[in-house]
C-alpha cells in the first residue's frame, strides 16, 4: 500500500515500507520512535533494531520538528565484534553521546533485546533516553545528569511472521500493562476467510467476509482506552507473490480523537516516513501507534 491509512489523520503516523520488493528474510527489524525534548524543543529519536545473517545491530536517528535529520548513527551488526561501546556526535554545536552494552543481552526471535542490556543517549551531559533494564550500569557509565523522563514512547513498527497465527506484545500507555496481541487469519483454501484479533487471549475483534472487507478499521477498548485498529490484508488474499498484511493500532486519548481510515487502492509500500508522526503544534493528545507487517511463512 502506497500510503497506508493515516488512521489518525494528520496527527498520526504515515506508515509505509519498502518491504514489498525485498526478501522477507531481510525484514527482521523493529523500529521504535520516542518524542523527546532537546534544548527546550521537541525532537524524535528513532531506534531501529536489526538482525540478519551477519549478526545483529541497531541505528539511532534524531529528527527535529520539521523532519530534518539532526544526526544518525549506525551500529553495524556484530558477529565477532564487542557488543558494547559508545559514540559521540555533534548536533548544532552540542554534544550527543550514545552508550550501549548488549554483551549480556537476551533476545527472543526478534532483533530487539529483551533484558540484560542498556542503550543510553546523553545530550549535553543530560540523560535524554535510557532503554533496557541495566539502569544502574548505564548511569555509572555515562555519568550523566538524571532528569525526570522527558521521552515518551509514541510509535513502534515491527515485522512479524507466521502461517495462520501472528503474535507480538505491546504497551499502549506509559507504565501500562504489557499485552499479548494475537492476529489469526487462515486464507488457504477457504471460500470465506475471517480475521480474528485477540488481546491477552480474549477476542476483541472479528471480521467476517474478509474478501469483501480486506481493508477497514474498527475501534476496540484496551485498558479503558479507545484503540483504533486498521487492517489491510489485500496481499494475503489477492497478491500474486508472497506479500505482507499491515495492521495498525492507534490509541485515542478522547472520543474526539477517533479518526477514520482512508485507504488507497494501490497497496505497494514506500519507505516509512516520520514526517506525519510529529508536528510540534499537534503533539497534544497524540497517543501510541503500533504498526505490524505480518508475513506468512511458506
- Please check whether residue 1 lies inside any domain of the structure: no
223 & 187 share domain: yes
Confirm if 2 and 269 have CB atoms less than 8 A apart: yes
pLDDT band at 10 (very low <50, low <70, confident <90, very high): very low
210 & 114 share domain: no
Confirm if 153 and 173 have CB atoms less than 8 A apart: no
16 & 94 share domain: no
Cell of 266: 494501490
Cell of 130: 535510557
- Please check whether residue 132 lies inside any domain of the structure: yes
Kindly give the residue spans of alpha helices, DSSP state H, lying in the chain.
135-142, 234-238
pLDDT for 204: 94
pLDDT for 254: 42
pLDDT for 149: 67
pLDDT for 4: 40
Q: What is the pLDDT of residues 99-135, one digit of tens each?
A: 999 999 998 888 999 999 999 999 888 899 999 999 9
Does residue 268 register a pLDDT over 60? no
181 & 278 share domain: yes
pLDDT for 188: 72
pLDDT for 286: 58
Give the list of residues 6+ apart from residue 8 with CB closer than 8 angstroms, or none: 228, 250, 252, 257, 259, 286, 287, 289
pLDDT for 214: 92
Quote the number of domains for the chain: 2
- CB atoms near residue 232 (< 10 Å): 21
Top-confidence residue, 214 or 1 = 214
Q: What percent of the chain has pLDDT over 70?
A: 76
pLDDT for 27: 63
pLDDT for 192: 81
User: Of the candidates 103, 119, 152, which is a domain's last residue?
Assistant: 152
| Residue 123 belongs to domain spanning | 29-152
Say if strands 152-162 and 289-296 run parallel, antiparallel, or are unpaired: parallel
143 & 183 share domain: no
pLDDT for 2: 33
User: Of the candidates 110, 133, 152, which is a domain's last residue?
Assistant: 152
For the chain, the average pLDDT equals 77
Reported pTM: 0.79
Q: What is the pLDDT of residues 25-78, one digit of tens each?
A: 446 889 999 988 877 778 889 999 998 888 889 999 988 776 778 888 888 888
User: Of the candidates 152, 170, 202, which is a domain's last residue?
Assistant: 152
- Please check whether residue 2 lies inside any domain of the structure: no
pLDDT band at 269 (very low <50, low <70, confident <90, very high): very low
21 & 82 share domain: no
Q: Which residues face 153 on adjacent strands?
A: 34
Q: What is the pLDDT of residues 188-230, one digit of tens each?
A: 777 788 999 999 999 999 999 998 999 999 999 988 888 999 9
Q: What value does the mean pLDDT take over residues 138-154? A: 84
- CB atoms near residue 119 (< 10 Å): 22
- Please check whether residue 109 lies inside any domain of the structure: yes
166 & 250 share domain: yes
pLDDT for 247: 95
123 & 59 share domain: yes
Amino acid at each position: 500500500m502506497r500510503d497506508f491509512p493515516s488512521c489518525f489523520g494528520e496527527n498520526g503516523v504515515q506508515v509505509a515500507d519498502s518491504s514489498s520488493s525485498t526478501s522477507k528474510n531481510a525484514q527482521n527489524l523493529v523500529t521504535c520512535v520516542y518524542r523527546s525534548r532537546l534544548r527546550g524543543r521537541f525532537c524524535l529519536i528513532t531506534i531501529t533494531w536489526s538482525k540478519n545473517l551477519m549478526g545483529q545491530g541497531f541505528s539511532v536517528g534524531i529528527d527535529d520538528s520539521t523532519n530534518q535529520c539532526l544526526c544518525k548513527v549506525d551500529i553495524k551488526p556484530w558477529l565477532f565484534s564487542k557488543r558494547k561501546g559508545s559514540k559521540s556526535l555533534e548536533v548544532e554545536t552540542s554534544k550527543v553521546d550514545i552508550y550501549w552494552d548488549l554483551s549480556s543481552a537476551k533476545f527472543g526471535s526478534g532483533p530487539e533485546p529483551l533484558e540484560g542490556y542498556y542503550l543510553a543517549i546523553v545530550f549535553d551531559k543530560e540523560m535524554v533516553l535510557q532503554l533496557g533494564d541495566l539502569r544502574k550500569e548505564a548511569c555509572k557509565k555515562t555519568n550523566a545528569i538524571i532528569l525526570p523522563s522527558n521521552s515518551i514512547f509514541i510509535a513502534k513498527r515491527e515485522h512479524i511472521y507466521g502461517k495462520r497465527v501472528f503474535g507480538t506484545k505491546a504497551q499502549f500507555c506509559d507504565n501500562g500493562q504489557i499485552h499479548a496481541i494475537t492476529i489469526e487469519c487462515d486464507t488457504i483454501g477457504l471460500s470465506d476467510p475471517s480475521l480474528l484479533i485477540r488481546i491477552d487471549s480474549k477476542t476483541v475483534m472479528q471480521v467476517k467476509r474478509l474478501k469483501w472487507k480486506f481493508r477497514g478499521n474498527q475501534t476496540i477498548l484496551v485498558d479503558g482506552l479507545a484503540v483504533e485498529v486498521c487492517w489491510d490484508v489485500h496481499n494475503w488474499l489477492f497478491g500474486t507473490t508472497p506479500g505482507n498484511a499491515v495492521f495498525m493500532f492507534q490509541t485515542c486519548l478522547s472520543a474526539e480523537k477517533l479518526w477514520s481510515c482512508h485507504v488507497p487502492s494501490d497497496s505497494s509500500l514506500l519507505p516509512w516516513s516520520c514526517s506525519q508522526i510529529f508536528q510540534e503544534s499537534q503533539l497534544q493528545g497524540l497517543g501510541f501507534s503500533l504498526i505490524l507487517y505480518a508475513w506468512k511463512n511458506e
